[in-house]
Amino acid sequence: MKEIKQVAVIGAGIMGHGIAQIFAAAGFSVRLYDIHEHMLQKAKEAIEASLSLFVTHGMISAEQKEQALGNIRLTISLAEAVADADFITEAIPEKVELKWEIYRQIEELAREDTVVASNTSTIPITQLARYAKYPERMIITHYFNPAYLVPLVEVVKHEKTATSVVELTLETMKRIGKVPVLLQKEIAGFIANRLQAAVVREAFHLLEEGVAGAAQIDAAMKAGPGFRWAFIGPFETLDFGGLDTWQSAMNNVAPELCNATQAPAMINQLVERGELGVKTGSGIYAHTPETVAAAIELRDQRFLSLLHSKQNETAGH
Ligand SMILES: NC(=O)c1ccc[n+]([C@@H]2O[C@H](COP(=O)([O-])OP(=O)(O)OC[C@H]3O[C@@H](n4cnc5c(N)ncnc54)[C@H](O)[C@@H]3O)[C@@H](O)[C@H]2O)c1
């Protein structure tokens, strides 16, 4: 198997900076590319801040933080980013034409055997690879925000993806400390976002039916299924709960579940009013810049503690 040493991350936004950070922290030489210089500077600050959080939590040393930062080179030159790259991760906006254009440029600038992985959440890999000169090297690695914390990476191949590329991608994801899950076929929303969407649809149904308020529904998830799901998946839950019990539960509850095929009406109303959540100051809840900053800090600290437990789980403790 080819050894990956140098990686390129294309797009330094919400996802790109987190992906660059994990590769750098795992010892890879990283080129982080963006068309906007200010996005690169913002990415650098965000990476420094989140590595500091890892240091504060004792998950890496101050020296490892400096090494990780030293492994990242920022660039606004695509040629510099990809010329010597063994593995490219594309994390530019979710517009297929933009992605096709960047793949076309990569074909001119990168080696033929370089793996090209997209972080797309919704575009099928067959569509991404439609005009590819080397479709065998194209694959999806779908990370979750914040990418430097959430372990899952969904890996999606298409018919023409070379087996060696799939194996190399899975191996590389493990080397950067991620938990890769390979899909056997393409499907919209992959696995995790479909599971999440099913829960979100039902949560809005409960809210719209007046069963409970948003805070109560959030509390029920966090203190109930959410508490278990970090360590016990749905199938494990059923085996431990008893399949006969779950047979009755599903027969009783399934006919009652929401089966809407569109976004919940409440989301549509909020979006129409420009209430988009934290980015506009109100959504399901009300937010201020102070409450948002505090919530993100607390969230990341808690995610770090959880990550610590999950790393122990992987190590068999
Ligand atoms: N945000 C999420 O929670 C999330 C989760 C998983 C996957 N994704 C996917 O990751 C990808 C990136 O999403 P994001 O949320 O990081 O977006 P973003 O808007 O935060 O960042 C995109 C970055 O790409 C840069 N850019 C735009 N055109 C470019 C080009 N031609 N070349 C290089 N850089 C370019 C922008 O300047 C920006 O910095 C999308 O495909 C998205 O669907 C997002």
Per-residue confidence at 315, pLDDT binned at 50, 70, 90? low
Query: Is residue 31 assigned to a domain?
Result: yes
Phi, psi dihedral angles at 242 (to 5 degrees): 100, 120
Look-up: residue for tokens 């201020």? 288
Q: 261 and 116 share a domain?
A: no
Q: 177 and 198 share a domain?
A: no
Distances (CA, A) of 114 to 29, 84, 106, 129: 15, 9, 10, 15
Whether residue 317 has pLDDT greater than 70? no
User: How far, in Å, CA of 131 to CA of 128, rounded?
Assistant: 8
Please check if 34 is assigned to a binding site: yes
The preferred substitution site among 10, 14, 45, 191 for testing ligand 1, maximizing ligand atoms within 8 Å of CB, is: 14
In this prediction, residues 21-29 reach a mean pLDDT of 98
Please check if 15 is assigned to a binding site: yes
State yes or no: is 121 an active-site residue. yes
Distances (CA, A) of 56 to 53, 234, 307, 310: 5, 34, 14, 18
The active-site residue, picked from 107, 193, 205, 287, is 193
Query: Is residue 160 assigned to a domain?
Result: yes
Q: 132 and 54 share a domain?
A: yes
Angle between helices 289-314 and 37-56 (to 10 degrees): 60
The domain total for the chain is: 2
The preferred substitution site among 9, 92, 127, 128 for testing ligand 1, maximizing ligand atoms within 8 Å of CB, is: 92
Nearest to 75 by CA among 39, 115, 127, 21: 39
Whether residue 1 has pLDDT greater than 90? no
Whether residue 30 has pLDDT greater than 70? yes
The preferred substitution site among 34, 141, 299 for testing ligand 1, maximizing ligand atoms within 8 Å of CB, is: 34
Please check if 121 is assigned to a binding site: yes
What is the rounded average pLDDT for all residues in the chain?
Answer: 95
CATH number at residue 206: 1.10.1040.10
Q: Contact 221/227 with Cβ under 8 angstroms?
A: no
**The tokens of 241 are what?**
């709960």
The whole domain housing 157 covers 6-182
Per-residue confidence at 311, pLDDT binned at 50, 70, 90? confident
Preceding peptide of 234 cis, ω within 30°: no
Measured in Å, residue 10 CA sits from the centre of ligand 1 at: 9
Q: Give the 3-state secondary structure of residue 315.
A: coil
Measured in Å, residue 14 CA sits from the centre of ligand 1 at: 7
Q: 74 and 208 share a domain?
A: no
Task: List pocket residues of ligand 1, CB cut-off 6 Å.
Answer: 10-16, 33-36, 39, 91-94, 98, 102, 119-121, 142-143, 145
Phi, psi dihedral angles at 117 (to 5 degrees): -110, 135
Query: Is residue 293 assigned to a domain?
Result: no
The active-site residue, picked from 121, 186, 275, 282, is 121
Stronger pLDDT, 115 or 310, i.e. the higher one: 115
Q: 161 and 197 share a domain?
A: no
The percentage of the chain sitting over the pLDDT mark of 90, rounded to a whole number, equals 92
Please check if 13 is assigned to a binding site: yes
